[in-house]
């Protein structure tokens, strides 16, 4: 990363689209920038944070992602490389990701995966909370941050930047269904700073990927293959699956894009939970796949493994000989899925 002393940033922020402009200027207590890849979300988020820090000396803001380990090379790097001019910074503690500006305002970068750190966000509380990649967070994270917005003498704002997700996500419910804050939206095509070849590449996205990541729309995955999949019913918060529950695995073969799903059945209720998916995305042999399957199922009892279509007896045999016996499915859609 560029260090505090090497950086040179020209602060004159000019919004690249109306969404950036509106989001940065908004004084609403809850604000969301929902947008596609490269729409300018992170720059807007950080510019808003820096403005609040400059306009209100001795402000204290927490800028975070879900996982602390991801913030240094993403949001924090953008802050130093593209948003905050060196001359505004009085001190930077690089172990704590803690920036003190010359006007006394402080910006702490971190994650929502560190309750101890969040608990010590200062007895006086914080003036603002900014969440990047907020689709990774859950409602508990959001509420916990809201509970710390009490620094005296400054406006209290929580604002977030995110790619869209399924309409069942708490952010969609909070901002679009219940209208509990202001929303600004932009697509990738709303950022003229993006290179042409990048936009051409995005133009090749299809289906839900295009809807969410290029057009910036909140679309679910329902209807892609199985129309009975319903985000509202089928997506639930993660929880620890009891080790005693029996596991069933389903396999899709192929040398380049094999896939597997792992389900656990709750013997008490008869409900099944898909708790892991396997999509290595690289070419690997049967032995290595099986090692990965065993790791995923470590400590659990796998009752049945099913996969392939009726013709793929050879593949099943290959996995079986590596210690992962896969049986033929009763029904299979041998015609390729569209």
Q: Which residues lie closer than 8 Å to 309 by C-beta, 6 or more apart?
A: 329, 332, 333, 334
Distance CA(59)–CA(106), nearest Å, equals 6
Going by the DSSP 8-state scheme, the letter that residue 314 receives in this structure is: H
Q: Is 38 in the site for ligand ATP (CB under 6 A)?
A: yes
Q: Is 16 in the site for ligand ATP (CB under 6 A)?
A: yes
- The piece of 40-48, 170-178, 224-232, 263-271 that touches ligand ATP (CB under 6 A) is 40-48
Q: What is the spatial order of strands in the sheet that 302-307 belongs to?
A: 272-278, 259-265, 247-252, 302-307
Find which of Mg ion, ligand ATP, none residue 193 binds, CB within 5 to 8 Å per kind: ligand ATP
Task: Tell me which residues touch Mg ion (CB under 5 A).
Answer: 41-42
162 closest CA partner among 74, 34, 73: 34
Find which of Mg ion, ligand ATP, none residue 162 binds, CB within 5 to 8 Å per kind: none
Annotate each residue in 165-204 with x if it binds ligand ATP (CB under 6 A) or - if it does not, as one string.
Answer: --------------------------x-xx----------
Crossing angle, helix 286-296 and helix 313-321, to 10 degrees?
A: 70
Distance CA(246)–CA(304), nearest Å, equals 9
Q: Is 14 in the site for ligand ATP (CB under 6 A)?
A: yes
Q: Is 162 in the site for ligand ATP (CB under 6 A)?
A: no
Among 19, 31, 32, 43, binds ligand ATP (CB under 6 A): 43
Q: Is 35 in the site for ligand ATP (CB under 6 A)?
A: yes
Angle in degrees, CA 85, 87, 93, rounded to 5: 85
Is 160 in contact with 134 (CB distance < 8 Å)?
yes
- Residue given tokens 């095509």 in the structure block: 189
- The piece of 14-22, 58-66, 83-91, 136-144 that touches ligand ATP (CB under 6 A) is 14-22
186 closest CA partner among 22, 50, 12, 13: 22
Q: If DSSP codes are grouped into helix, strand and coil, which group holds residue 112?
A: coil
Kindly state the helix (H) or strand (E) to which residue 31 belongs, with its residue range.
strand 30-35
Find which of ligand ATP, Mg ion, none residue 39 binds, CB within 5 to 8 Å per kind: ligand ATP
Q: Is 71 in the site for ligand ATP (CB under 6 A)?
A: no
In the complex with ligand ATP, the residue whose CB is nearer, 78 or 138, is 78
Q: Is 75 in the site for ligand ATP (CB under 6 A)?
A: no
Q: Is 110 in the site for ligand ATP (CB under 6 A)?
A: no
- The piece of 34-42, 225-233, 242-250, 288-296 that touches ligand ATP (CB under 6 A) is 34-42
19 closest CA partner among 51, 47, 44: 44
For the CB of residue 13, give the shortest distance to ligand ATP in the complex, in Å: 6
Q: Could you list the residues that contact ligand ATP (CB under 6 A)?
A: 13-16, 20, 35, 37-43, 78, 191, 193-194
């Amino acid at each position: 990363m560029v260090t505090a002393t090497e950086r040179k940033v020209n602060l004159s922020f000019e919004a690249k689209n109306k969404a950036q402009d509106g989001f940065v200027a908004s004084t609403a207590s809850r604000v969301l920038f929902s947008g596609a890849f490269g729409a300018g979300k992170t720059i807007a988020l950080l510019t808003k944070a820096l403005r609040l820090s400059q306009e209100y000396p001795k402000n204290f803001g927490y800028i975070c992602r879900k996982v602390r380990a991801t913030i240094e090379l993403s949001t924090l790097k953008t802050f130093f490389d593209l948003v905050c001019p060196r001359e505004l910074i009085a001190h930077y503690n690089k172990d704590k990701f803690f920036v003190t500006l010359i006007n006394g305002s402080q910006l702490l970068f971190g994650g929502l995966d560190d309750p101890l750190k969040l608990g010590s966000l200062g007895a006086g509380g914080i003036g603002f909370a900014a969440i990047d990649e907020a689709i990774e967070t859950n409602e508990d994270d959001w509420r916990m941050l809201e509970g710390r917005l009490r620094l005296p003498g400054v406006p209290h704002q929580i604002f977030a930047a995110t790619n869209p997700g399924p309409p069942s996500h708490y952010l969609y419910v909070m901002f679009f269904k219940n209208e509990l804050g202001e929303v600004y939206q932009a697509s990738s095509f709303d950022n003229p700073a993006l290179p042409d070849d990048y936009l051409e590449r995005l133009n090749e996205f299809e289906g839900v990927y295009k809807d969410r990541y290029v057009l910036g729309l909140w679309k679910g995955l329902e209807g892609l293959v199985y129309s009975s999949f319903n985000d509202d019913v089928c997506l639930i918060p993660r929880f620890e699956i009891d080790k005693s529950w029996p596991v069933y695995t389903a396999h899709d073969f192929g040398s380049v894009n094999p896939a597997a799903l792992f389900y656990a059945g709750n013997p008490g209720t008869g409900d099944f939970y898909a708790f892991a998916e396997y999509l290595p995305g690289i070419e690997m042999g049967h032995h290595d796949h099986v090692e990965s399957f065993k790791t995923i199922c470590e400590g659990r009892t796998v009752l049945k493994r099913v996969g392939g279509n009726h013709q793929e007896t050879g593949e099943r045999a290959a996995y079986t000989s590596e210690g992962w016996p896969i049986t033929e499915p009763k029904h299979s859609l041998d015609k390729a899925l569209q």
